[in-house]
Amino acid sequence: MHGACVKIYIKWQFFLHFGVFFGIIKMMKYEIGDKVIHCRNGVSTIVGMKEMMERQYFVIHALRGDKENIYVPVVGSENIIRPVMDVAFADNLLHELASVKKEFNPNTKQRRDGFKRRLSSGNINDIAYLYRQKCLFDQYPEDVKLGPADLDMLEFASNILLDELALTYNADREKIEEIIAKKIK
């Protein structure tokens, strides 16, 4: 099935016309071999398609991890995988990242819940926010005491963002860290 192409629903856009909503579907094509971003595993590759229980699934492998098959239902996949950001989006994201201030909730449970919520959203803005918080914590560690679980979540978010930026800019991780440092200072 190499080279197969599947159209999936990516986003509904609603328009108001004479008081009636009309939904317009934007379609996105993914092909086997395409790189995508999985909401919990980061950069992944679509390696195949599989039908199970009369539903079509993308079979993907995460860049990080043990190459286990991850099955993503084609219908509804826009909530689980997304295309890799383009350079213009990445430039804007990094520009906005410079304005993020250090915000660590002193309540450990609330802080961790907030980190988990942002991390599990798969939203690149939330992931970038966590990356920036990690950078700020690394610069000013005396402001708040973070536990191992906090640090693991921030490190995981950093890896997801850096991997995607490396793919976007077609550069290695060290170069990406230099690019980020220039753009957020």
The pLDDT tens digits for 91-128 are 999 999 989 988 888 888 999 999 999 998 889 999 99
- Domain spans of the chain, in order of start: 5-83, 87-184
Alpha helices in the chain (DSSP H): 87-97, 108-121, 124-139, 148-169, 173-184
* Lookup: tokens for 136: 């700020």
Q: Taking residues 69-76, report their average pLDDT.
A: 92
Entry pTM: 0.79
Q: Which residue has the tokens 């850096």?
A: 162
Secondary structure class of 149 (helix, strand, coil) = helix
For residue 10, the model assigns a pLDDT of 36
Query: Is residue 28 a contact partner of residue 83, using CB atoms and an 8 Å limit?
Result: yes
Burial degree of 72 (CB within 10 A; 0-12, 13-18, 19+): buried
Q: Where is 45: in which H helix or E strand?
A: strand 42-52
CA-to-CA separations, 27 to 8, 9, 11, 78, 129, in angstroms, rounded: 6, 5, 8, 10, 29
Cβ atoms within 10 A of the Cβ of 159, count?
17
Mean pLDDT of the chain, nearest integer: 83
Q: Which residue has the tokens 């963002």?
A: 161
Per-residue pLDDT tens for 131-176? Answer: 999 998 888 887 778 889 999 999 999 999 999 999 999 999 889 9
For residue 144, the model assigns a pLDDT of 77
Specify the CATH number for 5-83; select among 3.30.1120.10, 2.40.10.170, 3.40.50.1820, 3.40.640.10.
Answer: 2.40.10.170
For residue 88, the model assigns a pLDDT of 94
CATH class of 87-184: mainly alpha
CA-to-CA separations, 97 to 50, 101, 110, 164, 167, in angstroms, rounded: 39, 9, 23, 15, 19
